[in-house]
Amino acid sequence: MVLEREMEEEEDEEEAMLKKQEEEEAEGENNSKDMPPPPPWSRKMMVEEVARKLNNGDLRAKMEAAIDVRRLVRKSSSSNSKSAVRCRFAAAGVIEPLVSMLHSSFPLVAREAALLALLNLAARNQRNKIKIVTAGAVPPLVELLKYPNGNLRELAAAGVLSLSSAASNKPTIVASGAALLLVQVLCSGSIQGRVDAVTALYNLSTCDEEPKLVLDAKAVPPLIDLLKECKKYSKFAEKTTFLLEIFSGSDEGRSAITNVNGGILALVETVEDGSSISMSHAVGALLSLCQSSRDKYRDLILKEGAIPGLLRLTAEGTPIAQDRARTLLDLLRNSCPEKRLTSSELERIVYDFAAHVDGSDKAAETAKRLLQDMVQKSMEVSISRIKIRTSPSTPAMVQST
């Protein structure tokens, strides 16, 4: 069920992306007299005619057919109808000639028409996405990502976003080097282009097969800027914090996060106001910072007021988020003895937080429970460390584990 919901969310993003493109192009299409509307035939005959033009027509016929693919999908009356049209077109053999039109041997206007048609065929159809990549769409998409034309480059980013939602496509796209070009879109594209680039990078970073995605730390500043601007509980914030948590695992990524004005604050605010998923990723990134160098990052995290949000997570977060928050609180308390939070300071912070959550009547009880929970966790960690230090380790034991 979780996977189904994730796929539905990706499909909704694709539909929103296509809708935006439709709105932007509507005025130009209404004023265009060069391309006639599709003839009033039956849908089956129209699909067959479009396929014939794409496979055997001249350049003008191919372009008209590509536009007709997009129009027929868009103008279908319902989601089921759109899905049926997409399947009919794929069965009629339009994907291969459309992919061939993406190559540099065709003029840019033809490549754009083919890309828009493929975007419409791929939306909400995993089988078509796989067919498009199998037909060889990734290399010409990568070339379009390099193109200085902003619109074409961002359409190519949208294409990578759509195709990368199919698991079997991810290794091919990762191996193509598209990620580095998506970072360029993320750094200099329009808002829509940056959002598409983030989602595409998120899709590629979840690839379970080789090769693994290598991310450029140049992506960090625009990621943090987008996190500042978006709602912290949104699906987009979940993807952004997921990527930032990955970056927090490297020296370059950690430096980039802390060098951006308000970078740590954006993560702290997400811990306070995010969804359960974005909270977990945000606290994971903060924890990674502090674990890499407590002396370097402790004061920076405390300065941004992280304690209340972390305390909330220990009580309300997912099991993973709770564990991360408790570990980070322990690091923040104990990393520098001369700057350590005193017991009275910690009790006051916990009491204020409990009063804010449960009201003054229940604050003492809630604060006591939170403190006991933190003490218990600290004892468990200490006992575990003692066992590790004192347990004998022999070659035989190592081999048997």
Which DSSP state fits 38?
P
Q: Which of 277, 317, 316, 285 is nearest to 301 (CA)?
A: 285
Q: Which of 284, 365, 291, 280 is nearest to 330 (CA)?
A: 291
The distance from CA 54 to its chain's CA centroid, rounded to whole angstroms, is 34
Question: pLDDT at position 342, please?
Answer: 56
Largest CA distance in the chain: 84
pLDDT of 360 > 80? The answer is: no
Question: pLDDT at position 363, please?
Answer: 73
Q: pLDDT higher for 206 or 398?
A: 206
Question: pLDDT at position 157, please?
Answer: 97
Buried b (16+ CB within 10 A) or exposed e, 140-154: bbbebbebeeeebbb
Which DSSP state fits 173?
H
pLDDT of 335 > 50? The answer is: no
Mean pLDDT of the chain: 84
User: How is the chain split among helix, strand and coil, in percent rounded to 5?
Assistant: 80, 0, 20
Give residues with Cβ within 8 angstroms of 54, minimum separation 6. Answer: 62, 65, 66, 94, 97, 98
Phi, psi of 353 (to 5 degrees): -65, -45
Give the mean model confidence (pLDDT) for residues 152-178: 96
The tokens for 241 are: 């914090």
Q: Report the residue count for the chain.
A: 401
Q: pLDDT higher for 222 or 400?
A: 222
pLDDT bin (cut points 50, 70, 90) of residue 149 is: confident
Q: Cis link prior to 211 (omega < 30° from 0)?
A: yes
Q: Are 280 and 321 in contact (CB under 8 A)?
A: yes
Question: pLDDT at position 366, please?
Answer: 74
pLDDT of 348 > 50? The answer is: yes
Residue 269: how many CB atoms within 10 A of its CB?
19
Q: Which of 60, 130, 61 is nearest to 99 (CA)?
A: 130
Question: pLDDT at position 334, please?
Answer: 58
Question: pLDDT at position 1, please?
Answer: 31
Within 274-394, residue ranges assigned H as helices are 276-292, 294-303, 307-316, 319-334, 343-358, 360-390
Question: pLDDT at position 174, please?
Answer: 97
Dist CA 360 CA 310 (whole Å): 20
Rounded to a whole number of angstroms, the distance between the first and last alpha carbons of the chain is 36
Question: pLDDT at position 393, please?
Answer: 46
The pLDDT tens digits for 295-332 are: 999 999 999 989 888 988 988 889 999 999 999 998 98
The pLDDT tens digits for 182-205 are: 999 999 999 999 999 999 999 999
Q: pLDDT higher for 180 or 24?
A: 180
Q: Which of 29-33, 39-43, 288-292 has the highest mean pLDDT?
A: 288-292
Question: pLDDT at position 76, please?
Answer: 81
Question: pLDDT at position 392, please?
Answer: 54
Q: pLDDT higher for 19 or 53?
A: 53
The pLDDT tens digits for 209-245 are: 888 898 999 999 999 999 999 999 999 999 999 999 9
Give the mean model confidence (pLDDT) for residues 71-99: 92
